Amino acid sequence: MNVNWQPILGQSASSALHKADEARPWLPEAHVSIFEYFAVWAAIVGLPLALWGIWKAYKEAQKAQTASRAAQDAVGQFRSDLGKVNVIAELTRFCDGISDLKRFLRAKVVHVVPDRLSELRRYLINARQSHLFTGNNKAQKVIQAAVTELATTEDSIEAHLADTKQPLDFVKITREMTRICDEIHVLLNDARTTIGKNDKD
């Protein structure tokens, strides 16, 4: 039996499709839309751009971190300097107070001396708490010796005021006050030289 097979599509439609494929030789056999090609190109260009963006953002973050650290350091340094200025003020008041005290002792105006002595002791105790003298054993010893001397002198003068028969060697006390002032003055000068200097140096 003879069967006459006929193409499903008409001859003319099939050849028209073939011609269209030939007109776009860059396209592969499988049909891909223009949007999909655009997406591929965008991915090729976009990836380095994204990496550059990430790198740039990282650099900016680093810069910001460095600036923040520098700002924190500056604030820390300012606080440290402020503490040093307070110590310098306390030690300066101490040295001025010692000068006044010596004048009172020479004039034998004894009744005001105990209060002055305890005030001077307080200046030293405040100054000692500063970070400036933390770990500085020599400075701590000088301050402790001065605090001890002031306290024992205060006790002796109080005892003298209570009972004037208690002896008081004014010359020796005045001489020791001068020595204490000289020792504290060395600490004062050391403290002055640290102003504006980085504590980490």
Partner 1 sequence: MIKTSEMKKILSTVLERTAAGRLEWREAAAVSGYLVSFSHSALILRRGTSGNPSWSLEAINEFGDAVGHLTPHDSESAGKLEKLGEIVERKSQRVDETLDDIFRGLEGGQN
Name the residues that contact partner 1, by CB under 8 A.
121, 125, 128, 137, 140-142, 144-145, 147-157, 168-169, 172-173, 175-177, 180
Least distance in angstroms from the C-beta of 105 to partner 1: 11
For partner 1, the closer CB: 80 or 156 = 156
For partner 1, the closer CB: 50 or 186 = 186
Least distance in angstroms from the C-beta of 62 to partner 1: 43
For partner 1, the closer CB: 59 or 131 = 131
Least distance in angstroms from the C-beta of 178 to partner 1: 10
Whole-number Å distance between alpha carbons of 170 and 165: 14
Least distance in angstroms from the C-beta of 191 to partner 1: 17
Least distance in angstroms from the C-beta of 164 to partner 1: 15
Which pair of structure tokens corresponds to residue 52? Answer: 């550059």
For partner 1, the closer CB: 98 or 191 = 98
For partner 1, the closer CB: 40 or 109 = 109
85 to 78, 90, 121, 131, 192: CA distances (angstroms):
10, 9, 19, 12, 8
